[in-house]
Amino acid sequence: MVIDMNYWGKVIKNIIILAISIIGVYLGFKLAIFYMPFLIAFIISLMLEPCIRFIMNKLKLKRKTSSIIIFIIAIILIVGLLVWAGVTLVSEASNLLSSLNVYIEKGYLLIQNLLSKIDFNNFHIPENIMTAVNNSAMEFFESLTQWAKNALTGAINFLTSVPTIGIYAVITLLALYFICVDKVYMIDQLEHHLPETWVKKIGVHLKEIVKILGGYLKAELTLVLISFVICLIGLYVLHFTGFNIQYPLLMAVIIGFVDLLPIFGSGTFMVPWAVITACSGDYNLSIAILVLWAIISIIRQFLEPRIVSGNIGIHPIFTLISMYTGFKFIGIIGMIIGPIILIILKNIFATFIDRGVIKSIFER
């Protein structure tokens, strides 16, 4: 039997390319998390770039002067918003943490009352199964209570860890300043130190990834920001008009986070919230929450086709798989990072995917 070394060399090469690319993406995300202040500074700089160019063109100023003006304005706005949000979130999270057991107990009693109204004798359910169901429900509520306590405690500890946040903030602000002011110099240095062939190949892939991923993230973040602002305003209006909304900012942040997850939406949190509120007897608040959810959904459906200019071309089942994989690896935040990695891998292996991955590797 004659072994075709050229064929198997090609197969091994393709497998190595796949493996190196996947490892590279994984290490890239690890480095991104490690150097998070610089990544945040880079993302903010991309958002500020159009403003810097606008000042340069309109006022005929140099890049450094324009960057400093925009940088100062941005810092004033960002610091003001962060201080207000931090103080409010710590206050609301602390209040919720102190009364969490009361809410969980009310929820458990509510479910018990609902179950007591159902005559299970008609279903001929054995007593041992009913006991197991009750025990499971109790364990679920205990686990939910513990998870909520850990999440709120972690959030409070993070928001109140002034030295750590201060260091991150200073590094991020300094990095943002240097990126805005010396962007051209940094790009020139990068091109100077890398081989020309690397710059061309990396440049092509990087531009395509930034175009697709940047457009996707920009569109999704814009939609989430709009949903968050509408939700925040609506909840504060309900709060000030006498409805039982005790934690408007915290609820708006949770709804915004859920809305950020692909496939999911604000209704994933707001509809159950409205149902639980109705079951507890507060029908006015339940209707108000559903109306607010309807407003958010209508505005989002109206804006989404205009903001999201293209489709990422990934079936929802693969998005769901990527979310689950991300969740299993790094927890809740992985549900957001998973689809992002999927988009990057889809772009890198576009040729393989178009021809068929296995076929591309093993085809002669």
DSSP 309: -
The pLDDT value recorded for residue 1 is: 47
Q: What is the pLDDT of residues 201-259, one digit of tens each?
A: 666 666 776 677 767 777 777 888 888 899 999 999 988 888 888 888 888 888 888 88
Is pTM beyond 0.85? Reply is: no
Mean pLDDT within 325-353: 75
Question: CA-to-CA distance for 203 and 211, rounded, in angstroms?
Answer: 12
Are 319 and 263 in contact by the 8 Å Cβ rule? The answer is yes
- Closest CA relative to residue 251, chosen from 270, 264, 274, 267: 270
**Interval 46-99: pLDDT, tens:** 778 888 888 888 888 888 888 888 888 888 888 888 788 878 877 877 777 777
Residues sharing a CB contact under 8 Å with residue 74, sequence separation 6 or more, in sequence order: 44, 48, 176
pLDDT(311) > 60 = no
Q: What is the CA radius of gyration of the chain?
A: 26
Query: CB pairs under 8 A, 24+ apart, for 242-248?
Result: 243/284, 243/285, 243/288, 244/282, 244/285, 245/285, 246/92, 246/95, 246/96, 247/92, 247/93, 247/95, 247/96, 248/92
Q: How confident is the model at residue 314 (pLDDT cuts 50, 70, 90)?
A: low
Average pLDDT score over residue span 14-40: 80
List, for residues 119-158, the tens digit of each pLDDT value: 666 666 666 776 776 677 667 667 766 777 777 677 677 6
pLDDT at 183 over 80: no
Cβ atoms 149, 97 nearer than 8 A:
yes
In this prediction, residue 291 has a pLDDT band, given cuts at 50, 70 and 90, of: very high
